[in-house]
Copies of this chain bind each other. A is one copy, B any other.
Amino acid sequence: MAISPDECANQILETTPLIMHAIRAEMRSNRLPELSVPQFRMLGFLNRHEGASLSDVADHMGLTLASMSKMMDGLVTRGLVTRQTHAQDRRRVALALTAEGRRTWERAHEATRACMVGWLAALSAPERDTVVEAMRILRLIFSSGGEAGKREATR
């Protein structure tokens, strides 16, 4: 194919916002206006990492502590997350899903999965392979801890 890095950059820059918009629109307009994309990711992380600190979550999502604090506050207020002082290090907080939080996440996860699967049904198996492989490649480049962008934010 012989794709230039330039062309590759353009494609990513043009396509990614389209995907984000479609996902956001789905999560807002349809059957689950209860969670935004960032909230969905926060709950998913806590589902996988019970007892994580705020820094852990902020680091995972590549956001500042201040932003995470505020957003997490919303989830705590809504009764989806518990926030307790860590036993050993009293500066830290230990975050975890409530039963309600877990139910909410599972509901959102299932609905999102179903919707995405519907969209992806148009693809052939090899096309899906290509997409997943590309995501793996891009994750290596863009994942938190990989490059400069994130580090700047917490400087």
> Is the pair A128, B5 in contact by a Cβ cutoff of 8 Å?
yes
The answer to whether A138 and B3 touch across the interface, beta carbons within 8 angstroms, is no
When distances are taken between beta carbons in the complex, the residues of chain B under 8 Å from A142 are 15, 18-19, 21-22, 119
Q: In the complex, are the beta carbons of B62 and A25 less than 8 A apart?
A: yes
**A interface: dominant SS:** helix
A143 at the B interface (CB under 8 A): yes
A22 touches B147 (CB 8 A): yes
Interface residue tally on A, bucketed by range: 35 or more
Contact yes or no, B120 A141, CB < 8 A: yes
A89 interfacial by beta-carbon distance below 8 Å: no
Interface residues of A in 102-155 (CB under 8 A from B): 112-113, 116-117, 119-123, 125, 127-144, 147-150, 152-153
In the assembled complex, the Cα of A15 lies from the Cα of B12 at a distance in Å of 12
A1-18, CB < 8 A from B: 1-3, 5-18
> Is residue A66 contacting chain B, with contact meaning CB distance below 8 A?
no
Q: Taking the complex as formed, is A29 at the interface, i.e. its CB lies under 8 A from any CB of chain B?
A: yes
The answer to whether A17 and B41 touch across the interface, beta carbons within 8 angstroms, is: yes
- A99 contacts B by Cβ under 8 Å: no
